[in-house]
Structure 1
């Protein structure tokens, strides 16, 4: 049967590349020569360019790491495309699916308006034992998506997931890191029917209802 190198396995020649007498010895000599060439001392001026490259690569790696590890701030919003709102009260949220951290999520979030039925922006932040980000998911949300804010344990022991919702144009720029930040914040009061039994949302609803009652008595 013809081999890939065009040799045959029948007749006086077996077809194996290393069967010829002396071939193994020749390969050993070539290997030893190659190793000796690699270990041969170089001129004194040659290692400096290599060292310079190593230092440069180390600097670039540290710089990239520092950029990716920092959080996203208002200063990072360079330009949001001006456009006419597709409907009255149209707004935008930062949106992403399982981004590695908040910076990457916000940096590459599409600049589009939320659907008409959406009213809020939601954020889901998964963290490890040290509180470092594992994944960030942000979406446009309806009220039903915001009924369970707060922090809870994740599937993996030691990991924690915090969920928050907010109302307003690109209001979900930060990510919730703890129970204090994992809340449902609104700019307009929610009525009693919209309030939920979960503590963070219930506090928000109670505050909104109490404020409305106080204002009605003034």
Structure 2
């Protein structure tokens, strides 16, 4: 038998093995965002967040998130990640929120069911792609100063800018 058919079979099996690895990959990439979430804003400053309620893991949340813009009264993307003691995802919740929902980010070691829960907020278009898994990434990440958010918050809630800034400072100082 000639060596060519043997080499061809080896190459074919290598390609099949690589294809199977690619099919089973569950990483969500920036290319997926561009494909799934084209950009045209319905209003100035419009943005999107990945949105899901109690998805099994980050891939399921990001893959099946509806492609819709956040309401005008929201400004941030929120993520709640519930994990078992081995760090495996139990549930993922993501949504658009106002400033008030982002003042308590961080992780709890155990909830009443024995799970670790981490919450994070971020400002920006579909910025909540990754999951918070520890105190380092369970943070409130903004691109603009909180004082700029106060004007928006005052029109919705009867709290002053001073109390928002103090509350934000206190929530970050315990980390």
When normalised by structure 1's length, the TM-score is: 0.58
Contact 2:36–2:67 (8 Å) recurs in 1: no
The corresponding residue for 1:6 is none
What are the within-5 Å matches in structure 2 for residues 1-218 of structure 1? 66-67=24-25, 70-77=26-33, 78-83=35-40, 85-152=41-108, 153-157=110-114, 159-191=115-147, 193=162, 194-195=164-165, 196=167, 197-199=170-172
Structure 2 gaps of 5+ residues are: 1-16, 148-160
In structure 2, relative to structure 1, the CA distance for the partners of 1:166 and 1:63 (3 Å cut) is same
User: How many residues are treated as equivalent by the alignment?
Assistant: 138
CA distance in structure 2 between the aligned counterparts of 1:150 and 1:65, rounded to whole angstroms: 34
Structure 1 gaps of 5+ residues are: 1-58, 204-218
Contact 2:49–2:95 (8 Å) recurs in 1: yes
CA distance in structure 2 between the aligned counterparts of 1:131 and 1:138, rounded to whole angstroms: 18
Asked which structure has the greater CA Rg, the reply is 1
Residues 97-137 of structure 1, C-alpha deviation per residue, up to 9 Å, x if partnerless?
A: 00000000000011110000000000000000100000000
Deviates more, 1:188-197 or 1:141-150: 188-197
SS class of match (2:144): coil
Residues 120-168 of structure 1, C-alpha deviation per residue, up to 9 Å, x if partnerless?
A: 00000000010000000000010011010000122212x1000000000
Greater length-normalized contact order (CA 8 Å, ≥ 6 residues apart):
2
CA distance in structure 2 between the aligned counterparts of 1:104 and 1:164, rounded to whole angstroms: 18
SS class of match (2:59): helix
SS class of match (2:146): coil
Residues 57-108 of structure 1, C-alpha deviation per residue, up to 9 Å, x if partnerless?
A: xx9xx969944xx33221322242343x222111000000000000000000
Over the aligned positions, Cα root-mean-square deviation in angstroms equals 2.3
When normalised by structure 2's length, the TM-score is: 0.71
